[in-house]
Amino acid sequence: MRITKRSHIINYLIKLYKYKRYLEIGVRTPSCNFDKIKCKFKVGVDINPASRCRYTMTSDMFFQKISPDKMYDIIFIDALHLKDSVLKDVTNSLKHLSSGGVIVMHDCNPTSNVLQRVPKSDRKRKWNGDVWKAFAILRMTREDLNMYVVNINQGCGIVRKGKQKLFEKVKEDCLTYSFLVKKRKKLLNLVSTAQFRKKEKKRRGV
């Protein structure tokens, strides 16, 4: 399988680990990603009725609604591209992540200042928001997670329960785009698709 898109990352993980239950937070247009996911059980969450999701609501409402023992093997987060919202989505997702499961975060590696600027300055332009800051904060504060970013499709963050050596903590107001440029590879644990395959196969023991 050639890996160039977020759906490729997700489907690779589903196949490798034989995941059965998939949750997508922030579907928007199903044909862009949701419809491409090959998993036995799929559910989507989006506030826009045009997304044709099973749950037409905010992610906060969704996590309040579902049973505490509802678990998913793989959760894709691509909703509101704002640091605080993403942190909440990750925190809530971890509570509903099955043993051995994984969270995939989109938009973790913006390639220009304007792509990560908040608020969005151009409605026609692609926008990553400051998702990368949420990833960075987790890298600086959560020893109980294992995290890295695959360097494709605006950066696909891989987050698991586990352990990691924390990145040196800085004040949030220091998380500027120039800081990201300077620290990008180490801060994001940035890997190529080849390295991604190698890491996951080693973890799976194949």
pLDDT of residue 158: 98
Look at residues 38, 5, 42 and name the one whose alpha carbon lies nearest to residue 22: 42
Interval 94-115 mean pLDDT: 97
At residue 206 the predicted structure's pLDDT band, cuts being 50, 70 and 90, is confident
pLDDT of residue 122: 72
Q: Each residue of 146-176: pLDDT tens digit? A: 999 999 999 999 999 999 999 999 999 999 9
Rounded to whole angstroms, how far apart are CA atoms 37 and 12?
10
Asked whether residue 1 is domain-assigned, the answer is no
> Does residue 79 have a pLDDT over 80?
yes
Look at residues 57, 161, 145, 52 and name the one whose alpha carbon lies nearest to residue 101: 161
pLDDT of residue 104: 98
Asked whether residue 60 is domain-assigned, the answer is yes
State how many domains the chain has: 1
Range of the domain at 101: 6-204
Q: Each residue of 18-64: pLDDT tens digit? A: 999 999 999 999 999 999 999 999 999 999 998 889 999 999 999 99
At residue 119 the predicted structure's pLDDT band, cuts being 50, 70 and 90, is confident
Q: Each residue of 130-147: pLDDT tens digit? A: 999 999 999 999 999 999
List 41's β-bridge partners, or say none.
21
pLDDT of residue 120: 85
Asked whether residue 97 is domain-assigned, the answer is yes
CATH number at residue 43: 3.40.50.150
> Does residue 199 have a pLDDT over 80?
yes
Other Cβ atoms less than 10 A from the Cβ of 25: the count is: 27
Rounded to whole angstroms, how far apart are CA atoms 70 and 33?
23
